[in-house]
Amino acid sequence: MGRPGRSCQRGPHSPTASLQRTGPGLDTMSAFTHVSFVLAAALAVATCLDVPKVHLSSGGDMPIVGLGTWQVTNDQELETALDAALQSGYRHIDTATIYRNEHLIGKVLSKWLKEGKVKREDLFVTTKLPVYGMRPADVPDFLNQSLAKLQLDYVDLYLIHMPFAVKREAYDNGKINEDGTDLSTDHLAIWKAMEAEHKAGRAKALGVSNFNETQIERIMKQAAVPPANLQIELHLYHQQRPIVDFCKKNGVSVTAYSPLGSPGSKWLALITGKELPDLLSLADVNEIATKHNKTSAQVLLRHTVQRGIIVIPKSSKPNRIQQNIDIFDFTLDDSDMAKLDALDKGLDGKLFDMKHIGGSEKHPEYPWTALLKK
Ligand SMILES: NC(=O)c1ccc[n+]([C@@H]2O[C@H](COP(=O)([O-])OP(=O)(O)OC[C@H]3O[C@@H](n4cnc5c(N)ncnc54)[C@H](OP(=O)(O)O)[C@@H]3O)[C@@H](O)[C@H]2O)c1
Ligand SMILES: *[C@@H]1O[C@H](CO)[C@@H](O)[C@H](O)[C@H]1NC(C)=O
Ligand SMILES: *[C@@H]1O[C@H](CO)[C@@H](O)[C@H](O)[C@H]1NC(C)=O
Ligand SMILES: *[C@@H]1O[C@H](CO)[C@@H](O)[C@H](O)[C@H]1NC(C)=O
């Protein structure tokens, strides 16, 4: 268990000390992206500036740990989680149009902002253009709706959620119609509309999610504002080394979704027929956790963060939320890293092929072509 309140209540324990102690890990991080530790002398509890940040190509810095919010739509559950997160020092929140919880996040954030407990410029809010909003004219429309729900004038990062698309009418009250595929998707035209939002100041940074290298490269070649972030499934069994290297080379920061292997997504096993792996109970992970007096979740998150990758673990439980950001007072050594690196299963470790989204595999922009042949 992490020490309660640690990441936010260090008091005299300076981030400089942790910067030195975590030397090897940080070298890796700064080789990838510019990770700026904010050296605030007086670390006020409410500012919690000691979470490292990853610099984005379009300007701005993204806290390397954020709160995931997928599958949290209960008002009270979300409020408890977000309050706990903000109290524990989280300033980065990941949501999406399709999560149907932006209005709840907006409610909590506006409370914190109004009470002066947090400043807008210290928050980093990401949301996403839905798979049913994949026409250029949809971009301002959906972003406006998100901003209204979040009660914000801008988001810090706006992502295209999926490379494939369904027609707008295919979405009905949380469900996506089987035969609603929109085959006419034009990423470059959508990206131009995304850039217009960036220019207008409604999206400080732009990025994509679930895109592959070819798709990212095509946008980069044409873009005035290249993608600053790629959000992909990434965890111990699916370490995504090739695309992370590609992003590193091209100045695109990477966010790991399902960094704990999404243990709550039990429904997934029912669809795929594959058992959901329990990364938190693996012997190697437990052993390394014991060695550092940390939890398995903290080891999994630290392993990814030490590669310079942003993590957005989801939890609704305050003690876990606190624990998941308390990963900056220890370093995995080379042998720990090598052991964990070796557990990668590549494409076989992938959990989400998104085939549950109506018609995705028939779409010309379905990103994981290797999964189609199987
Ligand atoms: N772009 C995309 O297409 C995409 C896809 C998937 C996810 N995401 C984003 O990534 C976020 C994270 O992914 P995810 O929600 O799939 O999975 P995850 O963060 O890997 O795992 C969340 C699950 O782990 C449990 N958990 C959290 N902390 C724990 C701890 N310290 N010890 C033990 N169990 C713990 C949670 O249960 P409790 O809540 O009960 O603690 C929850 O069931 C999402 O919420 C979403 O914001 C994006
Ligand atoms: C291990 O961590 C726990 C909880 O964070 C703490 O109470 C305990 O003192 C630690 N033990 C050692 C040996 O550091
Ligand atoms: C979105 O909001 C902006 C600013 O309020 C406004 O200028 C624009 O017309 C809106 N666009 C749509 C499609 O609603
Ligand atoms: C990315 O997806 C597109 C569309 O399916 C495909 O043509 C391309 O080969 C894929 N690229 C990679 C690197 O998988």
Domains, the chain, with CATH or none: 53-371 (3.20.20.100)
| 3 state DSSP class of 314 | strand
SS3 state at 183: coil
Residue 49 confidence class, pLDDT cut points 50, 70, 90: low
The residue count for the chain: 374
d(C-alpha 169, C-alpha 179), whole Å: 11
Give CA–CA dist 209/18, Å, rounded.
Answer: 32
- pLDDT, residue 192, reads 98
Is residue 142 over pLDDT 90?
Answer: yes
Residues 180-218 pLDDT 10s: 999 999 999 999 999 999 999 999 999 999 999 999 999
Least confident window among 11-25, 83-97, 207-221, 260-274: 11-25
Closest to 88 measured CA to CA, from 367, 318, 333, 358? 318
Task: Give percent above pLDDT 90 in the chain.
Answer: 80
Which residues line ligand 1 at a C-beta cut-off of 6 Å?
68-70, 94, 161, 209-210, 231, 257-265, 280, 295, 297, 312-317, 320, 323-324
Q: How many angstroms is it from 103 CA to the middle of ligand 4?
A: 35
Q: Can you read off the two tokens belonging to residue 223?
A: 């873009």
Cα–Cα distance, 346 to 176 (Å, whole number) = 29
User: For position 8, what pLDDT does the model report?
Assistant: 44
* Residue 126 in tokens: 């990401």
- pLDDT (average), residues 59-73: 97
What strands, in cross-sheet order, belong to the sheet with 310-311? 67-68, 92-94, 124-129, 157-160, 206-209, 229-233, 253-257, 310-311
Determine the angle formed by the axes of helices 213-222 and 187-199, rounding to 10 degrees: 60
pLDDT surpasses 60 at 74: yes
> Is residue 99 annotated as a catalytic residue, yes or no?
yes
How far apart CA 106 and CA 109 sit, in angstroms, is 5
The structure's pTM equals: 0.91
366 lines ligand 4 (CB under 6 A): yes
| Model confidence pLDDT, tens digit, residues 84-138 | 999 999 999 999 999 999 999 999 999 999 999 999 999 999 999 999 999 999 9
**What distance in angstroms lies between residue 211's CA and the mean position of ligand 4's atoms?**
9
- Which residue, judged by its Cα, is nearest atom 36 of ligand 1? 315
In this structure, which residue's CA is closest to atom 2 in ligand 3? 144
Centroid of chain to Cα 158: 12
Residue 14 in this model has a pLDDT that exceeds 80: no
What sign does the CA torsion over 360, 364, 366, 370 have?
positive
Residue type (1 letter), 298: Q
Q: Is the pLDDT of residue 273 over 70?
A: yes
The answer to whether residue 353 scores a pLDDT higher than 90 is yes
With beta carbons less than 8 A apart as the criterion, state whether 22 and 328 touch: yes
2 pLDDT tier (thresholds 50, 70, 90): very low
> Which residues surround ligand 2 with Cβ inside 6 Å?
1-3, 293
**What is the predicted pLDDT for the residue at 41?**
25
